[in-house]
Amino acid sequence: MPSSPSQLRTVEACASEDFSSDCDIPSIIEHTQKCLVLELENDTIRECGAAALAIIASKPDDVLRLAHRKLHTWPFRDVPICWRRLYEDASLWKAIALLRVQTCRRNPKGHAIDTVSRKRKRRGEQENPKGHSSSPAVERPSTTDDGINLPTIMAGDWVADIVKVLDMAIILTGAPSRKHLFNNLFNNLQSSLLHEVSKLDTLRGFPPSHLRRPKVRFPMQNYKALGSDMNFTALQEHLDASASPLILEGAISHWPACSAWKNPAHLMQHTLGGRRLVPVELGRSYTDEDWGQKIMTFAEFVHDYLINPMPKQTGYLAQHDLLTQIPGLLEDIQTPDYCFTTPPPATPELLHGQPTPPHLEEPLVNTWLGPGGTISPLHTDPYHNILCQVVGHKYIRLYAPSETPKLYSRGVDEAGVSMENTSRVDVSIAMELAGRSAAVGCDDEISHENARNDFEERFPLFKDARYIEAVLGPGDSLYIPLGWWHYVESLSTSCSVSFWWN
């Protein structure tokens, strides 16, 4: 296995050589700039003030830092949109500046380097064709030029530099007005990587799992009409009749993703050689004290957490809209027709303290990619869910809303945030104590007994809560009704796609 993310790639035809046939940088610069200087209708960016707009093109780093500061001045939902717009546009100007550096470097006539602000210099800056060093080589810590904490990237990797700037803008602002420009830039950068070869190309799949499968004692209802899959009408009838959980075995086995995503190389290729940034949850479970989130390159996630046989901790790319970030992956999946049925509406009992969400015109799609052993603690969601298993296996346990009194919801926390949709019970520990899980339990009989008594004392009703369970495999889907408690544990490297609808 490659020993570091930087060894994942050997750039065969170095991106710094003749790429003009693959990636027309002057045109992208011109196109992006033309769009940026055009005034948009009702654009709130003017509210940021003339001083910032006066230097956004010439000093995008300084404007980025002002916008970043403003994005953190209020709780995110209160941030005036103008600051998201300013950060978005300043990022695009910065991307243009980084692209300009590449045009200058490549021009054999050796036109003078743009006056690049000293803050825009990159690690391992090479000499330009004229032989002048384009900036003093100063070692900088692993931050963007605006000082924001970011993952380490390959020295001298200009594509990664630009991707970082663009992805951070999307993460921080949601790209309110310039999505098309971001996508255009990503597509063009993709073409400059055509010759890149990844060591991951030799990997045929993810490492095998050593986690033992729990025995399913209380199976869920499984729909398997003879020779056919459940269709839209049949599910609608089921929803009208009982709206209970239902395994739809093999329902998505026709997705190209079921074979394509088994190979890390496919996902790496679609994430610009793994350069795209993704949010990763670190830690055993989001109810643990030491749990956190980190933004890292997709390559770092794959290398350090997905294919690493001895990761420092669990890393889970969870609840992330990867398919909007990487539209190229959309052709590997297909939104199930089921998401266009009309399910029963939400009631306060089913919402468990969460506000009624608005009606969704389109289903909310999330991707869940992680190693074996990821845990989503017992909780409910305010939407109906079709959970599609693409790669690997997941153990899922469901408790009906009627069992809620036995599930010890967390209630409202000190900051006033409702955690009523999350249980205090750690189901993986409950399974261990009941002797049903293969996870490492207590060697000592006595301490196991003590742990069991502790658990009994804290959660006496839990053992009487009725549940159903299943192991989902590649190609399977599971309908999880709104308000049903669910606990999910991956049994191997797993990739799922969930569709929330109402």
Partner 1 sequence: MSELKTRTAGHRQTANDGASKPTSMLCAGLNAHSQLQAGTQADVRKFTPVEDISTPQKGADVLFAGWSTTVFSSGNKIWTQGFQPISSTLGGNAAHEDIQTRSVIGDHDGFLALLTTSGDLYTVFSSSDAQSATLQLMTTESSPSIALIAFAGTGRIALTFKQAPNGNLCHIAEFNTLDRFLAWYRDPSDSDCYPDKHHMLPGRPAQLLANTASFILLLENGEVYSWGDPRHQSLGRAINGEGTTKADVPGIVEALGGLKITKIASGGWMSAAFSEDGALYLWGAAGAPGHDRSIRCLREAGAGEVALVELLASAHDEPLDVIDVAIGDAHVAVATSDGRLFVVGDNKDGQLGLDSAEDFIEDWTEARGLSDVQRVVCGSNSTYVFVH
Secondary structure (H, E, C), 212-278? CCCCCCCECCEECCCCCCCCHHHHHHHHHHCCCCEEECCCCCCCCHHHHCCCHHHHHHHCCCCCCEE
45 scored as a contact of partner 1 (CB under 8 A): no
Residue with Cβ nearer partner 1 (47 or 456): 47
Cα 35 to Cα 47: distance, rounded to the nearest angstrom:
19
- Written as six digits, the tokens of 9 are 């790639």
Residue with Cβ nearer partner 1 (282 or 323): 282
416 scored as a contact of partner 1 (CB under 8 A): no
Contact letters for partner 1, residues 452-471 (x by CB under 8 A)? --------------------
Write the CA distances from 199 to 12, 56, 247, 317, 340, integer angstroms. Answer: 11, 39, 38, 22, 41
Residue with Cβ nearer partner 1 (414 or 443): 414
Contact stretch for partner 1 (CB under 8 A) within 35-43, 47-55, 189-197, 348-356? 47-55
- Written as six digits, the tokens of 412 are 């409202």
State the nearest-atom distance from the C-beta of 148 to partner 1, in Å. Answer: 6
State the nearest-atom distance from the C-beta of 153 to partner 1, in Å. Answer: 16
Q: How far is CA 324 from the centre of its chain?
A: 10
DSSP 3-state of 385: strand
Q: Which residues contact 52 (CB under 8 A, 6 or more apart)?
A: 63, 66, 67, 86
Residue with Cβ nearer partner 1 (68 or 266): 68
The letter for the amino acid at 369 is L
46 scored as a contact of partner 1 (CB under 8 A): no
State the nearest-atom distance from the C-beta of 138 to partner 1, in Å. Answer: 5
284 scored as a contact of partner 1 (CB under 8 A): no
Q: Which of 52, 170, 307, 468 is close enough to bind partner 1 by CB under 8 A?
A: 52
State the nearest-atom distance from the C-beta of 114 to partner 1, in Å. Answer: 14
Q: Which of 54, 155, 194, 197 is close enough to bind partner 1 by CB under 8 A?
A: 54
- Written as six digits, the tokens of 391 are 């790669």
State the nearest-atom distance from the C-beta of 145 to partner 1, in Å. Answer: 9
Strands 246-248, 222-223: pairing kind: parallel
H helices of 11-123, in order, are: 25-37, 50-55, 60-71, 81-106
Cα 157 to Cα 275: distance, rounded to the nearest angstrom:
10
Cα 248 to Cα 299: distance, rounded to the nearest angstrom:
33
Residues facing 198 on adjacent strands: 9
* 8 Å CB contact between 174 and 84: yes
- Written as six digits, the tokens of 342 are 């009309």
Taking each helix axis as running N to C, give the angle between helix 158-173 and helix 81-106, from 0 to 180 degrees, rounded to the nearest 10. Answer: 170
Residue with Cβ nearer partner 1 (1 or 155): 155
Residue with Cβ nearer partner 1 (94 or 394): 94
State the nearest-atom distance from the C-beta of 118 to partner 1, in Å. Answer: 8
Helix (H) or strand (E) holding 364: strand 364-370
133 scored as a contact of partner 1 (CB under 8 A): no
Residue with Cβ nearer partner 1 (59 or 284): 59
Residue with Cβ nearer partner 1 (70 or 238): 70
289 scored as a contact of partner 1 (CB under 8 A): no
Cα 75 to Cα 45: distance, rounded to the nearest angstrom:
19
Q: How far is CA 501 from the centre of its chain?
A: 19
137 scored as a contact of partner 1 (CB under 8 A): no
State the nearest-atom distance from the C-beta of 73 to partner 1, in Å. Answer: 5
What number of chain residues touch partner 1 (CB under 8 A)?
30
119 scored as a contact of partner 1 (CB under 8 A): yes
| DSSP character string of 365-397 | EEEEEE-TT-EEEEE--SSEEEEEEEES-EEEE
State the nearest-atom distance from the C-beta of 315 to partner 1, in Å. Answer: 19
403 scored as a contact of partner 1 (CB under 8 A): no
414 scored as a contact of partner 1 (CB under 8 A): yes
Name the nearest CA neighbour of 154 among 272, 1, 270, 65. Answer: 272
The footprint of partner 1 on residues 55-74 (CB under 8 A) is 55, 58-59, 62, 65-66, 68-74
- Environment class of 457 (CB within 10 Å of its CB; exposed 0-12, middle 13-18, buried 19+): exposed
State the nearest-atom distance from the C-beta of 413 to partner 1, in Å. Answer: 12
Contact stretch for partner 1 (CB under 8 A) within 50-58, 279-287, 303-311, 333-341? 50-58
Q: Which of 38, 50, 225, 241 is close enough to bind partner 1 by CB under 8 A?
A: 50
Q: Which of 2, 147, 156, 205 is close enough to bind partner 1 by CB under 8 A?
A: 147
Q: Is 353 left (phi over 0), alpha (psi -120 to 50) or beta?
A: left
120 scored as a contact of partner 1 (CB under 8 A): no
Q: How many CB atoms lie within 10 A of CB 157?
A: 21
Residue with Cβ nearer partner 1 (51 or 440): 51
227 scored as a contact of partner 1 (CB under 8 A): no
94 scored as a contact of partner 1 (CB under 8 A): no
210 scored as a contact of partner 1 (CB under 8 A): no
Residue with Cβ nearer partner 1 (66 or 246): 66
Site residues for partner 1 per CB under 8 A: 49-52, 54-55, 58-59, 62, 65-66, 68-74, 117-119, 138, 140-141, 143, 146-149, 414
